């Protein structure tokens, strides 16, 4: 009985702290002193401009976890996901699948988009930071699901191809607060790079599907 009461107390404390954190985030967003601190604490350098600290509607929504998890927030979540979905462009040449070998190099690379890079420096996907992909790779993160056997398990239907394209382009079209970067939205990966990552996941010849 004591253990149950203790666990209930811990749960209540956790929920209270979660709510306080959400309120604090909301207050900070509207606090002139906080906004000034953010502006003064960062400087534009090279290709890294101060626009990177300006939140769009999706980021603001996910910065308030209390609201995001509320009934009112659920309606807003659906709107935000639709906005992100509507912003996705299908491949201009109609081709979804590129070169899986190039896709593997993109998945392995986390280079690019820093203040020391030039604007034309290719940006990597850093996919292995969050996912297991090629089963032979021993170093990978587990924030996201394993992608090993991606097409082998899911098939090669057009529905799967389109879903995968959309997910790589802008994962927030399916989950407003997804941890996955919006690769196309922020122009981190170009169309050809996304086609190559698509090949890594969907080409039957890719080691992912062996």
pLDDT digits (tens, 9 = 90+) for 37-68: 888 889 999 999 999 888 999 999 999 999 99
How far apart are alpha carbons 53 and 34 in whole angstroms?
Answer: 12
| Pair of tokens at residue 165 | 């394209």
Instruction: With beta carbons less than 8 A apart as the criterion, state whether 203 and 97 touch.
Output: yes
For position 205, what pLDDT does the model report? Answer: 98
| Pair of tokens at residue 70 | 């509320």
How far apart are alpha carbons 131 and 208 in whole angstroms?
Answer: 12
For position 38, what pLDDT does the model report? Answer: 81
The pLDDT confidence band at residue 30, using thresholds 50, 70 and 90, is low
**Quick one: average pLDDT of 94-111?**
97
Residue 89 has pLDDT above 80, yes or no: yes
Report helix, strand and coil shares of the chain as percent, to nearest 5. Answer: 55, 0, 45
For position 96, what pLDDT does the model report? Answer: 98
Residue with the bigger pLDDT between 187 and 20: it is 187
| Pair of tokens at residue 162 | 């389109």
What's the fold here for domain 100-209? Cytochrome Bc1 Complex; Chain D, domain 2 (1.10.760)
The pLDDT confidence band at residue 27, using thresholds 50, 70 and 90, is low
Q: Where in the chain are all domains bearing CATH 1.10.760.10?
A: 100-209
How far apart are alpha carbons 14 and 12 in whole angstroms?
Answer: 5
pTM as predicted = 0.82
Q: What pLDDT digit, counting tens, does each position of 119-166 carry?
A: 999 999 999 999 999 999 999 999 999 999 999 999 999 999 999 999
Contacts of 196 (CB under 8 A, 6+ apart): 98, 99, 100, 102, 103, 106
Q: Which residues of 133-156 are buried (b: 16+ CB within 10 A; e: fewer)?
A: bbeeeeebeeebeebbebbeebee
């Amino acid at each position: 009985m004591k253990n149950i009461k203790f666990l209930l107390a811990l749960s209540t404390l956790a929920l209270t702290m979660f709510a306080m954190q959400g309120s604090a985030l909301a207050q900070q967003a509207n606090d002139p002193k906080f906004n000034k601190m953010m502006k003064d604490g960062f400087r534009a350098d090279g290709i890294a401009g101060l626009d990177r600290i300006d939140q769009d509607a999706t980021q603001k929504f996910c910065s308030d976890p209390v609201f995001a998890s509320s009934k009112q927030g659920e309606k807003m979540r659906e709107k935000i996901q639709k906005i992100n979905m509507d912003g996705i462009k299908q491949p201009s040449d109609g081709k979804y699948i590129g070169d899986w070998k190039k896709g593997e190099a993109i998945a392995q690379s986390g280079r690019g988009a820093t203040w020391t890079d030039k604007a034309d420096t290719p940006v990597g996907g850093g996919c292995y930071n969050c996912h297991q992909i090629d089963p032979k790779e021993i170093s990978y993160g587990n924030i996201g699901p394993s992608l090993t056997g991606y097409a082998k398990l899911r098939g090669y239907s057009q529905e799967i191809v389109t879903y995968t394209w959309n997910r790589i382009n802008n994962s927030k079209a399916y989950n407003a607060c997804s941890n996955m970067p919006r690769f196309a939205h922020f122009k981190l990966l170009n169309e050809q790079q996304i086609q190559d990552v698509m090949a890594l996941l969907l080409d039957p010849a890719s080691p992912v599907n062996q």
